[in-house]
Amino acid sequence: MGWPRIVIGTSNRGKVREISRLYADLPVEWVAMGDLGRPPETAETGATFRENARLKAEAVARWSGLPALAEDSGLEVDALGGAPGAYSARFAGPDATDAENVALLLRRLAGVPIERRTARFRACAVLWWVDGCVDEADGACEGRIASAPSGRSGFGYDPVFIPEGQSATFADLGREVKDRLSHRARALEGLRPAIMRRVAAGPGDVGKMVGT
């Protein structure tokens, strides 16, 4: 009998790789939702990371008939009143690229001294099981915003985010450091016990169809 399958509810391939890597030791087959066909388009209408993650997880679970893990995350910059926050992925517009979002962020922070460029990444991870039960976990990583992008690793705002206690950006530090310190890693670690409980209960508890 194969491992239970859980769908990763995101079209962001960087997140798919990161989640699969962070959970590589678990006895689960992680499936990118795009590999199952055309996924539903879920409007991120929530005002918080948790609300958006729940919307995505439920939609993907009902569409796929499998448990779904969704995550919503973003950057909060103190000098910008917490922006871009839940709008991090579309800060520069609904179809903005990572580079465009970063460029807008740096323009908004032009002239702000380093001591006032404090920020944090926040994440909420939600696992929507096919029986309708939901597990959730949050994670955060404090830091500050660099004056210019640096590094080639990661995605999103990684080239301008310097985590607390470090002198280089996530994009400079590389994936091993990010996997240890990041907001997403901390949120996913919080879900680990719930996943293990379900796996231990057997495949029928993990993978039956929604509504059956």
Q: Does the pLDDT value for residue 44 go beyond 90?
A: no
Query: So what's the pLDDT on residue 207?
Result: 53
pTM: 0.84
In a domain, 37, yes or no: yes
In a domain, 103, yes or no: yes
Percent of the chain's residues with pLDDT above 70: 94
User: Which of 16, 48, 39 is closest to 184 using CA atoms?
Assistant: 16
Domain enclosing residue 80, as ranges: 5-207
In a domain, 72, yes or no: yes
In a domain, 38, yes or no: yes
The average pLDDT across 170-181 equals 92
In a domain, 61, yes or no: yes
Average pLDDT, the chain: 90
In a domain, 69, yes or no: yes
**Residue 136, token pair as written in the block:** 């959730």
Q: Does the pLDDT value for residue 1 go beyond 60?
A: no
61 near 128, Cβ under 8 Å?
yes
Report residue 41's pLDDT band, with 50, 70 and 90 as the boundaries: confident
In a domain, 193, yes or no: yes
**Dihedral through CA 45, CA 49, CA 53, CA 55, nearest 10?**
-20
Amino acid at 136: E
Q: State how beta strands 134-145 and 118-128 pair.
A: antiparallel
Query: So what's the pLDDT on residue 210?
Result: 38
Query: So what's the pLDDT on residue 205?
Result: 52
**Dihedral through CA 124, CA 129, CA 135, CA 137, nearest 10?**
-30
Range of weakest confidence among 44-53, 91-100, 142-151? 44-53
Specify the number of domains making up the chain: 1
125 near 69, Cβ under 8 Å?
yes
Q: Identify whether 72 is a catalytic site residue.
A: yes
Strand, helix or coil at 206?
A: helix
Catalytic residue among 72, 135, 158, 172: 72
Query: So what's the pLDDT on residue 34?
Result: 87
In a domain, 212, yes or no: no
Report residue 18's pLDDT band, with 50, 70 and 90 as the boundaries: confident
Query: Tell me, what DSSP letter sits at residue 84?
Result: B
pLDDT in tens, 67-113: 999 999 999 999 999 999 988 989 999 999 999 999 999 999 999 99
CATH code of the domain in which 153 resides: 3.90.950.10
